[in-house]
Amino acid sequence: MPGDRNRQGDFSRVSRTGRVYRTRRAQRTDPALPQYTNINITTSAPDRKYTLVKVLILFFEYNDLNIKPETTQFKATCESLGYEVTVYEIKMKDSWEDLEKELKKLFPIRAEKTELRIIYYDGHGGINDDSSLTLASHTFSKSMQEIINALPQSVRDQSDALQDIAEVNWRDIVNMVNAMKCDTLAILDCCDAGAGATTTSLAEKDEQVIDYKKELIGACGWRAEARYHMTPTLCSVLRSGLREVQHSMSISTLIRRMNNRMVGIGEAAPQAVHYLLKRNTVGKIILPRLKAIIPPDERDIYEPFRGERLKDYNALILGGDTGIGRSAAITFSRKGADVTILYRAYAVDQAMSGDPKNDAQAIVELAKEWDGKVRLCQFRRNRSGAISLDSLEPHDQADMKFDILVNNLGYKFEDDNGENISSTEEYDSAARLTFLEGDQVVKAVLPFMRTSSKIINTVSLEQLDGPFFRKEYETAARVIEYLTKYQASQEEYTNHIVTAILPGVEWPLLVKDEEVVLSPPWEALKVLDCFLLVASLTRERAAELKITGTTFHIGREG
């Protein structure tokens, strides 16, 4: 199965399977000892703040790996951070010649000290006879049985698994990258990725110290296998660590957080690595969030939702800046509801700045484009620990009441330092806190709710697109389901319709036919249609259906 392959291979020929290819050890012909220079470069130069990040995603136009979910996910993550993304399929013929032309398009620099380039490769990798890294399209099967097993997929794909293997020497790319006058980050999700930072020379000369940062992230070291863990974890850490425009993250911090997550997977996940491609005098690469956007693919999903089904309804979304809460907010707005996003403030005025680059503000602007109404409010805990909702008082309507409440507070899987929660005790503690806080917030909102209003509990999955996706979703889903049953049994909820909608383990990066996309139409429509159905229920219809206390499970839950 393609999903079982690793990315290392035999270039006698290449494989992201356990089939390790053998090479001759390169013989060094220079008998003289290398003359080392002083490498302790010191600098007081401040870290650069990038205003433009361009990303080039590379993979071979034919490959035998299940990498499309990874490349699609990485593209979506970069676009959500405001980076400009180009996807290039390396040709099977004249591979380097065509790739060289594409690389030249990436490097015209307008402001060299405020621009960053990222080159990302996903596929096969292996060490060749001169101990350098070679990127390759696919592998040749080792047995007749493997060839027979591969034939049905080749017929379905109309591909030729026995065609010549296309190869590109990574050093050709590095030489071009190092010559360019801009900071560059290379990301290799392939076997033997660590070899991408090596050179043929043992000695480093003074003139090799440059004024630009050249760094590499690898899925593993050399003589090591990569599987399918690095890219999902990379995306997960970027999305959770760069939530607001003012946030930034060094590559060292990125790698530390990635490895803190992957170490819990077990032996299958190798350690991600971080190397310098060249010594420099300007410090380290700091990845920024440049802006917050609704990706084009996600915007398309809301096009069918037009009309006045929720006209004169007031909807309150807790945590509606990202993920499923964002989708509910936009959908309700498109259907005529006035929507208020109650945004959890972790920093003073974080959500209320009106900066169009912030996630929540991006939703407000999108709603305006579609003649919808969305506004932002904050909630926070006061000194006594009680939840304060004073900001709910409308500016122009002091007696405003809400008909719909979406409780999307989410589930905490990281501590206050951004590190993952790993132990069972910490998970249990986080689950209890989520349960209690979710109930406290909803109770605090009840005075603002009309009689017979709809309370919809759901799961926030914005940061859960990494390898821990299934475990985290299952835990969060149980918490929400218990919370819903508990609320339905309590007297203070008697005059309200309490339900839960769980979007499935695949939301928001839904998976269909082994392809990850932001908004697969049919699956996403089922989730949002369910929100609309519950939101528009009358009290009589809800009583007839005996819906209070019910949890709706949409899609696969793991």
- Per-residue model confidence as pLDDT tens digits over 276-289: 888 777 778 999 98
The residue-averaged pLDDT of 444-458 equals 89
- Distance CA(405)–CA(455), nearest Å, equals 5
Q: What is the pLDDT of residue 260?
A: 86
Asked if pLDDT for residue 504 goes beyond 90, the answer is no
Angle formed by the axes of helices 170-179 and 95-106, nearest 10°: 20
CA–CA gap between residue 343 and residue 174 (Å, rounded): 44
Nearest to 409 by CA among 340, 375, 444, 459: 459
- Considering the four listed CATH numbers 3.10.580.10, 3.40.50.720, 3.30.365.10, 3.40.50.1000, the one that applies to the domain covering 308-553 is 3.40.50.720
DSSP state of 439: H
Q: Do residues 402 and 450 lie in contact, with contact meaning Cβ atoms separated by under 8 Å?
A: yes
Q: What confidence tier does 60 reach under pLDDT thresholds 50, 70, 90? A: very high
Q: Hey, which of 101-110, 198-207, 374-383 has the most confident mean pLDDT?
A: 101-110
Output 503 or 230, whichever has higher pLDDT. Answer: 230
Q: Is this structure's pTM higher than 0.75? A: no
Per-residue pLDDT, 25: 33
pLDDT tens sequence across 376-416: 877 665 665 555 555 555 544 456 789 999 987 654 444 44
Residue 495 has pLDDT above 70, yes or no: yes
Please check the confidence at residue 37 and state whether its pLDDT lies above 50. Answer: no
Structure tokens at 453: 């209003």
Structure tokens at 332: 């309700």
Provide the pLDDT confidence category of residue 337 given band limits of 50, 70 and 90.
very high
Task: Let me know: does 249 contact 286? Beta carbons within 8 Å.
Answer: yes
Q: What is the pLDDT of residue 321?
A: 57
Give the residue-averaged pLDDT of 118-124. Answer: 95
Nearest CA among 135, 168, 136, 163 for reference residue 150: 163
Q: How much is the pLDDT for 344?
A: 59
pLDDT band at 539 (very low <50, low <70, confident <90, very high): confident
pLDDT at 38 over 50: no
Q: What percent of the chain has pLDDT over 90?
A: 24
Of 144-153, 191-200, 215-224, 310-319, the range with the lowest mean pLDDT is: 144-153
User: What would the mean pLDDT of 536-541 be, rounded to a whole number?
Assistant: 89
Q: Is the pLDDT of residue 150 over 50?
A: yes
Cβ-in-10-Å burial (0-12, 13-18, 19+) of 366 comes to buried
**Portions of the chain given CATH number 3.40.50.1460:** 2-21+46-137+166-288
Q: Which amino acid is at 524?
A: A
Q: Tell which wins on pLDDT, 7 or 14.
A: 7
What is the reported pLDDT for 468? 40
Looking at residue 353, what is its pLDDT?
Answer: 42
SS3 24: coil
Contacts of 427 (CB under 8 A, 6+ apart): 421, 475
Per-residue confidence band for 354, with pLDDT thresholds at 50, 70 and 90: very low
pLDDT, position 133: 93
The tokens 């690095």 sit on which residue? 230
The top-scoring range by mean pLDDT among 5-9, 39-43, 110-114, 507-511 is 110-114
DSSP 179-206: HSSSEEEEEEESTTGGGGG--S-S---G
- Count of CA atoms in the C-beta half-sphere (13 A) of 495: 8
Asked whether the CA dihedral 225, 227, 232, 233 is positive or negative, the reply is negative
Provide, for the chain, the percentages of residues in helix, strand and coil under a 3-state DSSP scheme, each rounded to the nearest 5. 35, 20, 45
Within the chain, all domains assigned CATH 3.40.50.720 are found at: 308-553
Domain covering 2-21+46-137+166-288: architecture: 3-Layer(aba) Sandwich (3.40)
Task: Give the pLDDT mean for 138-162.
Answer: 58
Do residues 335 and 269 make contact, with C-beta atoms less than 8 angstroms apart?
no
Give the number of other CB atoms < 10 A from CB of residue 85.
Answer: 18
Do residues 335 and 308 make contact, with C-beta atoms less than 8 angstroms apart? yes
CB 421, CB 414: distance < 8 Å: yes
Angstrom distance (rounded) from CA 312 to CA 269: 52
Q: What percent of the chain has pLDDT over 70?
A: 63
pLDDT category of residue 89 using cuts at 50, 70 and 90 = very high
User: Mapping DSSP to helix (H, G, I), strand (E, B) and coil, where does residue 339 land?
Assistant: strand
Specify the DSSP element, H or E, that contains 451. Answer: strand 449-458
Residue of 468, 476, 246 whose CA lies nearest to 350? 246
Q: What are the residues whose beta carbons fall under 8 Å from the beta carbon of 54, sequence distance 6 or more?
A: 83, 84, 85, 86, 106, 115, 116, 117, 118
- Which residues, listed in sequence order, are joined to residue 315 by a DSSP beta bridge? 339, 404
